[in-house]
């Protein structure tokens, strides 16, 4: 017997059903395999999904509803700051924590620009894997609830609803 499971296959099935998704938006050839290796070894509960462009990242974020987004600043089509602003403007993705990572934008001003765009955290490349893991865990442990549902305009009109008078 290994751990609480009788069969190792049961452990794998249990782990995959409880997994969370990390969306990596980065065009670097070496960065995605590095993140996948770090998560496999240190964060096995995370499944990594990759996007190479800002546009692809926005599409995947909307379609996959990830639990966390790792976002590079320098992308081939849209810069990371703009991607971050678009993610924050969309009700489907505005609650997802965003960790911006850059090997180029390394000044205090760049960090502030990332925060102003809506990033929850900001790291520089190269980084120590243990620090990345700690930041990912911190962002995933913070409880971020989705925004409240907004009333549908046609519903108000259909039922002749009027604003409440104080």
Structural domain boundaries in the chain = 8-158
**Interatomic CA distance for residues 98 and 82, integer angstroms:** 13
Q: Is beta strand 98-102 parallel, antiparallel or unpaired with respect to 20-25?
A: unpaired
- pLDDT tens digits for 53-81? 999 999 999 999 999 999 999 999 999 99
CATH architecture of the domain with residue range 8-158: 3-Layer(aba) Sandwich (3.40)
pLDDT tier at 160 (50, 70, 90 boundaries)? Answer: low
Q: pLDDT at position 28, please?
A: 86
Question: Three-state DSSP class for 13?
Answer: helix
Cβ burial, residue 152 (10 Å; 0-12/13-18/19+)? exposed
User: With pLDDT > 70 as the criterion, what percentage of the chain qualifies?
Assistant: 73
Q: Locate the DSSP E strands across 64-149.
A: 68-72, 98-102, 121-124
Closest C-alpha to 26, from 112, 96, 95, 123: 123
pTM over 0.95: no
């Amino acid at each position: 017997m290994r751990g609480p499971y009788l069969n190792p296959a049961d452990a794998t099935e249990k782990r995959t059903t409880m997994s969370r998704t990390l969306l990596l938006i980065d065009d670097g050839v070496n960065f995605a395999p590095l993140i996948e290796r770090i998560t496999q070894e240190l964060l096995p509960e995370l499944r990594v999904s990759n996007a190479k462009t800002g546009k692809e990242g926005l599409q995947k974020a909307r379609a996959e509803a990830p639990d966390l987004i790792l976002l590079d600043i320098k992308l081939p089509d849209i810069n990371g700051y703009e991607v971050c602003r678009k993610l924050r403007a969309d009700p489907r993705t505005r609650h997802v924590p965003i960790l911006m990572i850059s090997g180029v934008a390394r000044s205090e001003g760049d960090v502030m620009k990332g925060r102003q765009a809506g990033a929850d955290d900001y790291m520089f490349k190269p980084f120590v894997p243990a620090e990345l893991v700690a930041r990912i865990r911190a962002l995933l442990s913070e409880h971020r609830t989705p925004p409240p549902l907004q009333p549908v305009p046609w519903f108000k009109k259909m039922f002749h609803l009027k604003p409440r008078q104080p």
